[in-house]
Amino acid sequence: NNTYTLLDSGYFKKLENVGGQVMVRPCPQACWAPSLAKQDWNKAKDTYIRSNKGGGKWKFNSLPEQWDIVYHGQKMILRPTNFGHLGVFAEAASNWQWLKDMSKPEIKALNMFAYTGGSSLAMSKGGAQVTHLDAAKGIVDWARLNAEANDISNIRWIVDDVNRFLDREIRRGNKYDALVMDPPSYGRGSKGEIWKIEDDIMPFLERCKAVMSDKPAFILFTCHTPHFTPKVLDNLIYTVWGEDLTTESGEMTIPQESSKRTIPSGFYTRVTFP
């Protein structure tokens, strides 16, 4: 019971067993009716309720301050955050195996908007030399703990605004063979720089191209912004890198134990070079 299982979803909520902690959290996509009975949903001890003023709060709160799960072969430390997140986005795991398979010791990889490090761990396990970048120091500290929990000690940790870091790497002539990016719709850099995906994505991708080595290995570009569909991600890649590459894109999903349904949770494109 020390893993993540999506038990059911419906009526804009999801019922999850997260390492033995059964909880209900908001799920705006789940406009369908649940498959499980009300008694099953009533087993949840913890609920995160979103406020219509924005934000939200945990109710009942029997959750420990910290616990861990093993999810798709990676130990991940979890904590209930004020936003209702736990430190792992379950849908991200569908890309971890691909990242691990694509990684090799000669590959220098840069993971941007890297959050608690699931993708960094996967690439490191695959043997790549990983640089992990996020603007939030607390999040990078959390990612470091995840690395320690997985006996990984060779990741380079960077707390910085993504554009500032890329500009510095361009000036220094530092290059990367692989890029991973999960840009949010809206975010803040380490000194309060505003990130707004519609305005910032093109100049950001141009910077990414400028730090890419002349033997590019792969790019993983994921996104949770509603209009940034698989085709949009592909078009952005073609615009910046040209069309002499291969993309495999689609929707990230979380499979559900109780039925054939899956929760759609953002988009990805996996880019490989000839």
**Binding residues vs ligand SAM (CB under 6 A):** 89, 113, 115, 134-136, 139, 161-162, 182, 184, 187-189, 193, 195, 224
Residue 168 or 215: the one with the smaller Cβ distance to ligand SAM is: 168
Residue 195 or 241: the one with the smaller Cβ distance to ligand SAM is: 195
From the CB of 74, what's the least distance to ligand SAM, in Å? Answer: 16
d(CA 130, CA 154): 8
224 touches 265 (CB < 8 A): yes
From the CB of 195, what's the least distance to ligand SAM, in Å? Answer: 4
Residue 15 or 135: the one with the smaller Cβ distance to ligand SAM is: 135
From the CB of 193, what's the least distance to ligand SAM, in Å? Answer: 5
From the CB of 112, what's the least distance to ligand SAM, in Å? Answer: 7
Q: Which residue do the tokens 């406020």 mark?
A: 51
Residues 6+ apart with CB under 8 A from 119: 92, 95, 96, 99, 111, 180, 182, 220
CB atoms within 10 A of CB 24: 23
Helix (H), strand (E), coil (C) string for 52-69: CCCCEEEECCCCCCCEEE
Q: Which of 126, 102, 121 is nearest to 111 (CA)?
A: 121
Residue 34 or 88: the one with the smaller Cβ distance to ligand SAM is: 88
Residue 89 or 218: the one with the smaller Cβ distance to ligand SAM is: 89
From the CB of 243, what's the least distance to ligand SAM, in Å? Answer: 28
- Taking CB positions, which residue lies at the least distance from ligand SAM? 187
Report the amino acid identity of residue 104.
K
